[in-house]
Structure 1
Amino acid sequence: MVTAPAVEVLDDEIGVANAEAFRRLDVADPWVVDVATARDVIPGYDENLVLTSGAPMPWTEYVGGQREALIGGALFEGLAASRDEAVAKFASGAIRIGACHDYSAVGSLAGIYTASMPVFVVENRAHGNIGFCNFYEGKEPRRLNYGCYDEGVHERLLHVNTVLAPVVGEAIRRTGGVPLKSLIARALRMGDEVHSRNAAASMLFNREILPAVLDMVHDEVPGVRETMVHLAENDYFFLRLSMAAAKVTADAMAVPRSTLVSAMAFSCRGFAIKLAGLGDRWFEGPPPVHEGKLFAGHTEDEITWMGGESPITETVGLGGFAQACALTLQEYQGGSAEVMIERNRQMYDITHGESSTYRIPLFDFRGTPTAIDARKVLETGTTPVMDVGLAGRDGGQIGAGIIRAPRECFEAAMAAFEASA
């Protein structure tokens, strides 16, 4: 039997740990410093490795669009000459599958990385850790990260590798790196939440690299005009930077005895979270609860889950936790301004504190609710809300909306936490 003084000591320990984990999150200083190929910058990246979203699973458990995306990644990388060969090599282990988070990386939807793919390199200058996110494929609904692989997808991925990513990487290096925290804070004041709306952040990033781009034009660097047109036409481009910024921020939260959430992700199997005080352990539950708005010609029964790690943005107080900054999202993902505002207010009930940098004008510049506390989720019954794109069972994006993390993840996490006491 646990006595009252022992409970008080335990609560004090958790309080101290959570305060330190929150402090580390709040003072994080993410800078994008480079774009480089995965094999060159991600530690331990082998040529036969394909990364994907969510908690680690054996090949046999990947189904639907996430399985197809893994196969597409293997074909793109030349690890197999046919679909059947790729399946056989995944089954035998000749092609390895890794979880993005295990490599300090995050991936949108299926989150596919292969050795030759370019990644953003983001450095947390407050703590010295590095994180990665792969490059945006473009706004075409059929994309590898949405479970599609065909000739068009292949050509677009090649174009990213050979034209777009090298130009962006060169511009970032010439700039000396771009500070992302202050840029994101300004984007929130301009109508973004940097998960499902990145229009302002994308423009601000383009402005940051513009002097270097002009120098590159003068130096006749190939592909500059084409790359800048691509950036200007793709409002979602910045999402990969906000994800990498959130990843290096959340990774710095690791503090023993903390009940704060340090990662959220899902796979085709279900949703999962990590706690800052329990290391790399994932705690899984069923797929998230969703509501949203579908593109014309699609129906609810088409919605499927194929992975996703963009909820790392909500983990650090962005995305759905800054939804009141981006009320125009109602046109894209449905709902109403009143509902979005109320959802955002609910998140204060389940977080440790408020961001000192990311602020919501509509709430009189109150800091965004930041650092989900698993204990508060269970105490209140309120689960985290996230802004997401919705994938279809036949591949591609078919809509957008919000999801809520399942309660079961938090129950499992706190059971493990209490057992470790």
Structure 2
Amino acid sequence: MNDPARAAANDIAVGRMLASEPQLVGIEPAVDVVPGMTPQTILTSGAPLEWSAYTGGQRRAVLFGAVYEGLARDIDEADRLIRDGKIHVRSTQDHSCIGSVAGIFSASMPVVIVEDTAHGHKAFCSLYEGPSRLKLNYGAYDDNVRDALNWLRDSLAPLLSAAIEISGPIPLKPLMARGLRMGDELHSRNTAATILFAREINKSLLELYAGGRQTEVLAAFDFLYENEYSFLRLGMAAAKVMADAAHGVDGSSLVTAMAISCQDFAIRVSGLGDTWFRGPHPTLEGRFFDGFTDEDTEWIGGESCVTEVVGLGGFAQVCAPTLQAYQGGNYATMQRTNDEMYRICVRENDQFLLPPFGFRGAPTGIDIFKVLDTGITPAIDGGLAGKDGGQIGAGILRPPIDCFAKAAAAHEEMKSTP
């Protein structure tokens, strides 16, 4: 349905999104920089839930996060302290953070700090945990997971922080735009962007090497070389500040956040305040890694779909044909899926260009009413979590239309209220 006032509001919102200028400005312990973070706080992905509603791998991840932080001796004590109100479990979304899978943030964990220099706000994301299939943010915890987290905290994060002090803030949007031209879609594939980031920061790392930090620098080079997903956390924080810039425009029906928890899939809409509109988990079209089946799948959260909110991931997957080997499908289907996304968006992004579509701008600015009118829901490139605490597959996630319908009804009700 055509609504000139809503169209004008959406134009303002998507304009703010596209005008955003995300820059990496530092890496610091969460407790020092995340708004509202305390030594007793654990953050996790998804729209907020009561502690009793967290189940499975997401619940385990929170408990393990408390153990890792030294707030409890074991998960039983962590559970009791949470129920007693001595450990506080909060949503990442309420603290300007964006979480990968279960998205665990504890006080001492390092976070990347991305600032939108056009609008002044910041977003925070944890560092990529490393090559092991088992990770805390997938609900696993053992000596190897702990040691990997300690190395991020005690070695890599301080080193990268020092490198950023030398280099100054690093603009992220140019790296992301170039990554698209080099075969990334900036959600399930970040190979080119990780290489570009490493090149951006190499000169500063070499200065630190010359200054006596040889062992740390060589380990950092190895990490960036081995872990092609490293840039995803920067891209997620960049996407969050871009999406947040579009939030709060009266009358706008633009989606400004999408998030998954163990219980639901939820969206937030620019003109509808901080209300989350919830619906069932997405359906999956993809492939399982060898040895795993649908029986091994478990929903444990995830907010990397913020990349789709700003025109990346499933909205730019035509740039990344090699994803076929990772998440299944074929390139013709990827092209059709990507082309569909234009039908639910209000703008083409003049900075994120898609070479296979003749350098057409990526579809950007999901409109809840366009979703309802077409029956097309966002295509989200994503990984599959397993019950054992590791990744077991990947594919395209399609959320049901329920949450978009709820948001549209709320939008219409708001319009009709004097």
* Of 218, 242, 245, the match for 1:225: 218
Quote the Cα distance in structure 2 between the aligned partners of 1:57 and 1:287. 15
Q: Does 1:24 align with 2:16?
A: yes
Match of 2:93 in 1: 101
Match of 1:297 in 2: 291
How far residue 12 of structure 1 moved from its aligned partner, in angstroms, is 2.2
* Of 238, 246, 265, the match for 1:253: 246
SS of 2:100's equivalent in the other structure is coil
Q: Does 1:373 align with 2:332?
A: no
Quote the Cα distance in structure 1 between the aligned partners of 2:158 and 2:288. 35
Match of 2:406 in 1: 412
Q: Does 1:273 align with 2:267?
A: yes
Q: Unpaired segments of 5 or more residues in structure 2?
A: none
AA aligned opposite 1:240: R
How far residue 17 of structure 1 moved from its aligned partner, in angstroms, is 0.7
Q: Does 1:154 align with 2:146?
A: yes
SS of 1:121's equivalent in the other structure is strand
Quote the Cα distance in structure 1 between the aligned partners of 2:379 and 2:309. 10
Match of 1:3 in 2: none
Quote the Cα distance in structure 2 between the aligned partners of 1:344 and 1:44. 38
Decide which moves more: 297-306 or 376-385.
297-306
Identity %, equivalent residues: 50
The C-alpha deviation readout for 1:342-382, integer Å capped at 9, x for no partner, is 00000000001110100100000000000100000000000
Q: Does 1:89 align with 2:81?
A: yes
* Of 309, 333, 341, the match for 1:315: 309
AA aligned opposite 2:368: A
The C-alpha deviation readout for 1:215-257, integer Å capped at 9, x for no partner, is 1111113511111110111000000000000000000102111
SS of 2:389's equivalent in the other structure is coil
SS of 2:321's equivalent in the other structure is coil
Q: Does 1:179 align with 2:165?
A: no
Q: Does 1:51 align with 2:43?
A: yes
SS of 1:94's equivalent in the other structure is coil
Q: Does 1:393 align with 2:387?
A: yes
AA aligned opposite 2:361: G
AA aligned opposite 1:299: T
AA aligned opposite 1:47: P
How far residue 279 of structure 1 moved from its aligned partner, in angstroms, is 1.7
Q: Does 1:166 align with 2:158?
A: yes
AA aligned opposite 1:82: D
Q: CA RMSD in A?
A: 1.0
Match of 1:37 in 2: 29
Match of 1:140 in 2: 132
SS of 1:420's equivalent in the other structure is helix
How far residue 30 of structure 1 moved from its aligned partner, in angstroms, is 0.4
SS of 2:43's equivalent in the other structure is strand
Match of 1:4 in 2: none
AA aligned opposite 2:310: V
Match of 1:238 in 2: 231
How far residue 293 of structure 1 moved from its aligned partner, in angstroms, is 1.1
SS of 1:225's equivalent in the other structure is helix
State the 4+ residue runs in structure 1 displaced beyond 3 angstroms.
none
The C-alpha deviation readout for 1:277-315, integer Å capped at 9, x for no partner, is 112111000111112111111111111100000000000
TM-score (norm 2): 0.97
* Of 111, 130, 138, the match for 2:122: 130
SS of 1:152's equivalent in the other structure is helix
Quote the Cα distance in structure 1 between the aligned partners of 2:193 and 2:68. 30
Quote the Cα distance in structure 1 between the aligned partners of 2:31 and 2:41. 9
AA aligned opposite 2:56: G
Quote the Cα distance in structure 1 between the aligned partners of 2:86 and 2:5. 46
Match of 1:382 in 2: 376
AA aligned opposite 1:39: V
* Of 189, 194, 200, the match for 1:202: 194
How far residue 27 of structure 1 moved from its aligned partner, in angstroms, is 1.1
Q: Unpaired segments of 5 or more residues in structure 1?
A: 1-6
Quote the Cα distance in structure 2 between the aligned partners of 1:134 and 1:280. 23
Quote the Cα distance in structure 2 between the aligned partners of 1:288 and 1:204. 32
AA aligned opposite 2:338: N
AA aligned opposite 1:96: H
SS of 1:398's equivalent in the other structure is strand
AA aligned opposite 1:241: L
* Of 324, 335, 353, the match for 1:330: 324
Quote the Cα distance in structure 2 between the aligned partners of 1:93 and 1:414. 36
Quote the Cα distance in structure 1 between the aligned partners of 2:286 and 2:357. 25
